[in-house]
Chain A
């Protein structure tokens, strides 16, 4: 079965840039989306189709996808961005999630 690999955790200082990677075989050939999940809440879509931001998502969130790696970048990270982030792609008609990355804003 298809797997997406994310680092378990990323730490970032306020105002700095956080980069979260998501790796999978030929992932660049698939669309990737990213979800933010704050503690005790349901997931919120922050990036879809690799690099598109839904309405209401701040411009500091951006995405890219090439080769075997997709990346979610949070520029000028704020304390409110502390959350778990999940990448997701489709493979053979099945939605596959990465295990999630906990972003800590120190």
Chain B
């Protein structure tokens, strides 16, 4: 099973900094989702992007779907300690199957 490649794998930043997480594949997806998983919990859906080039904002988080629907990025502005967690992208290629990325573990230090 082809994984989505996420980069970076780990990120440790100071509160207030900006960051971008990337999710790349050589395959086209019908939609792409971003989840955040906090320690001891399951992943929780943040956003779904469907259209190539689509940009969605969720407060300080900006999600973009690539024009060719093969890649996506998550940008966080002025990161806060509450943003700490594992960020997972997941691409949809059929009605039921999601292919998950390897994850980016973010630590925001106060």
- A is bound by B: no
A-binding residues in B (CB < 8 A): none
